[in-house]
Amino acid sequence: MATYDYDIGIIGGGAAGLTVASGAAQLGARTLLIEKEKELGGDCLHFGCVPSKTLIRTAQVYHTMKNAQAFGLPAIEMPPVDFVKVKERIQSVIATIQEHDSEERFCSLGARVELGEPAFVDEHSIHLNGQRISSKNWVIASGSSPQIPPIEGLHKTHHITNKDIFSLDHLPASMIILGAGPIAAEMAQAFCRLGTKVHVVQRSGQILSKEDRDMADAVTQVLAAEGVIFHLNVAVLEVRDAGDGKEVRIQNKDEEVSTLKAEQILVAMGRSPNLEGLHLEEIGIEFDGKGIKVDKRMRTTQKHIYAAGDITGAYQFTHAAGYEGGIVVSNAIFHLPRKADYTFLPWCTYTDPELAGIGMNEKAAKDAGIEYTVFTETFKDNDRSLAEENKTGKIKMLLDKNEKPIGVQILGPQAGELLGEWIAVLNGKVKLSTLAAAVHPYPTLGEINKRVAGAYLSPKIFSDTVKKGLKFFFHLKGRACGSGEGR
Ligand SMILES: Cc1cc2nc3c(=O)[nH]c(=O)nc-3n(C[C@H](O)[C@H](O)[C@H](O)COP(=O)(O)OP(=O)(O)OC[C@H]3O[C@@H](n4cnc5c(N)ncnc54)[C@H](O)[C@@H]3O)c2cc1C
C-alpha cells in the first residue's frame, strides 16, 4: 500500500479549508493546511463578510443619528465621517475574530499549517517552498477573487475591489459601483449613508438579479430614496482616468451615451476562481471559468481530490463553504458517502432592509416549471416593526400544489435572523399548523412568520363549511354586526 506524508492536505485557509482542517485533525487524520497569505481566515474574515458587516453597522448608526427626528428626538448636525476611525473599528473586529482562526489554534487541534503557494506535481503530491509533500487526499479550497471584466480602459484605470474598500485612507467623495449584486448593493448603501455620492451601474433592469423582481425593486427604492443613483439597463462602454477623477461612459437602451465621474470606481461584477499556479490541468482535474467541477460528494474528476467553497463557483457564501467542508470530512475521513443538498440553503443580503431567502423564490419556481401559490404579510402590519420605525418590506411564503412550503423570502428588518425559524421549519418538515399555533412573544418581528403561516390556514379554518357545521351542531346565531345582520 502506498504511503503518504499526510492523510489529508488542504489548499486554502478560508471558511471551507478551515472547516475541513478542524474536522479532519480532531478526528485524528494527519492534516496539512496550506495558506498563501500571512494569516488564516480567507476572504470572509479579511475582505468580505466581517469587514462589510462591520462597516454596514457603522453606517447604520450614523444614518440613524442623522435621522434622529424620525424617532421624536432633536435634529443633530452630524460632523463628517473620519474613515480612518471606521477602518480602525473594522480592523479591530477582524483582529478579534482572527484569534479563532489562528495558526496556533489549528496547531492545537492537531493540524500542521504551512504558508506558501503549492503546485501539484502528480495526483498525490505538491511542490511547496522547495519541498515535495504527498497526501492520500487533497482538498482544494482556494476561494475566489473579484472578476475584472474586459471593459475598455478598466485595466489601466485605477479601481478598487472588496480587497481595498475596507482599508481606504479617507471616505471617497464619490464612487461609481460597477455591478449590482449583493456586495454592490450593500456597499452602495453603506457608503451613501456615510456621505459618499454613489452611482450604481447595472447592465440589466434589476439589481440583485437572482431575487424576485418585487423584492429587488423594493431594495432599489429604499436605496434610491437614501440618495444612491441607479443607472439600470446600461452598458459600460469605457472607463478612463480623467486626472481629477475617473470617468465611466455608459450607454442606455436608446443608445444615448452619458459620462459619470467619481473619485473611485468599485468593481463588483462577479467572482473568478483562484486556480492560478495549482497546475490542475496537469493532473486531470476539470474546471472552467466558474470553477472546479465537483460531484455531489464534492469530489473532483480525481476522486481522492475534493473541492469546496467558492472555488466550485456554485453557492458563494461562507455558510455554503462550511457546509461543503463538512461534506468533504464525511466522505474523505469517515468514508460515509454524504452528498451536498442545497434545497434549503439560506442566503441574505445585508442591506437595510435585509433581503433573506431559503428554498425557491418565484423566479426559481417558474424556471423549474413548478406550480406554486404565494402568501404574504407586510411589516407595516407588524407592531414591533412600526414601533421601530420600519414600514418597508414583506414576507413571501411559496407553497407547491400539495400545499408544502418550498421557499420563503423576507425583505425587512433583521430578515436574516427571522429566516432562522424557517430554516428549522423547512429542514425539520414542521407543519405550517405547528408554526401558526406556536405562541410567539409580542411584540416581535418574528410574529410575521406565524402570521404568514396563519394566512394560509385562515381560509380553511374560517371557511363556510366550518361555519355551517358549527351552526348546525352548536346553533351559533351568525354575524352580530355588518352585512345587514344583527342590525
Ligand atoms: C465583500 C464581500 C462580502 C461578503 N459577505 C458575505 C456574507 O455576508 N455572508 C456570506 O455567507 N458570504 C459573504 N461573502 C462570501 C464569502 O466571503 C465567501 O463565500 C467565502 O469566503 C468563501 O470561502 P472559501 O473558503 O471558499 O474561500 P476564501 O474564504 O476566499 O478562502 C480561500 C483561501 O485560500 C487562499 N488561497 C488562494 N489561492 C491559494 C493558493 N494557490 N495556495 C494557498 N492558498 C490559497 C486564500 O488566500 C484564502 O485564504 C462575501 C464576500 C465578499 C467579497
Spatial distance between the Cα atoms of 205 and 76, rounded to a whole number of angstroms:
37
Spatial distance between the Cα atoms of 454 and 88, rounded to a whole number of angstroms:
46
Backbone angles phi, psi at 303, to 5 degrees: -60, -25
Mean pLDDT by 10 residues, the chain (487 residues): 94 98 98 97 98 98 97 96 98 96 95 98 98 98 97 98 98 98 98 98 98 98 98 98 97 97 98 98 96 98 98 97 98 96 98 98 98 98 97 97 97 98 98 97 98 94 92 94 64
pLDDT of res. 484: 59
**E strand segments, 12-148:** 31-35, 111-115, 119-122, 125-128, 131-140, 144-146
Which residues share a beta bridge with 479? none
Contact 265, 284 (CB under 8 A): no
pTM (2 decimals)?
0.96
Closest by CA position to 50, among listed 14, 13, 3: 14
Strand 197-201, strand 229-231: pairing: parallel
Burial (CB < 10 A; 0-12, 13-18, 19+), residue 287, is: buried
Measured by CA distance, the residue closest to atom 20 of ligand 1 is 318
Amino acid at 27: L
pLDDT of res. 1: 72
Q: Can you tell me whether residue 333 is helix, strand or coil?
A: coil
**Sign of the four-CA dihedral 38, 41, 45, 49:** positive
User: 83-98 and 49-66 helices cross at what angle (nearest 10)?
Assistant: 140
Spatial distance between the Cα atoms of 356 and 418, rounded to a whole number of angstroms:
9
pLDDT of res. 485: 52
Spatial distance between the Cα atoms of 158 and 241, rounded to a whole number of angstroms:
8
Could you tell which of 22, 44, 46 is best to mutate to test the pocket of ligand 1, judged by most ligand atoms within 8 Å of the CB? 44
Spatial distance between the Cα atoms of 119 and 34, rounded to a whole number of angstroms:
11
Spatial distance between the Cα atoms of 372 and 363, rounded to a whole number of angstroms:
11
Spatial distance between the Cα atoms of 230 and 180, rounded to a whole number of angstroms:
9
Spatial distance between the Cα atoms of 191 and 198, rounded to a whole number of angstroms:
7
User: What percentage of the chain's residues is helix, strand, coil (to nearest 5)?
Assistant: 35, 25, 40
Spatial distance between the Cα atoms of 115 and 364, rounded to a whole number of angstroms:
41
Spatial distance between the Cα atoms of 65 and 70, rounded to a whole number of angstroms:
10
The number of CA neighbours under 13 Å toward the Cβ of 393 is: 26
Measured by CA distance, the residue closest to atom 8 of ligand 1 is 49
Q: How many helices (H) and strands (E) does the chain have?
A: 14, 21
Distance 104 CA to ligand 1 centre (A): 21
Distance 7 CA to ligand 1 centre (A): 24
The DSSP output letter for 67 is T
Distance 204 CA to ligand 1 centre (A): 26
pLDDT of res. 482: 83
Distance 301 CA to ligand 1 centre (A): 23
Distance 92 CA to ligand 1 centre (A): 19
Closest by CA position to 445, among listed 353, 369, 366: 353
Distance 289 CA to ligand 1 centre (A): 17
Q: Can you tell me whether residue 214 is helix, strand or coil?
A: helix
**Which residues are near ligand 1 (CB < 6 Å)?**
11-17, 34-37, 42-44, 47-49, 52, 117-118, 141-143, 162, 183, 274, 277-278, 309-311, 316-319, 321, 350
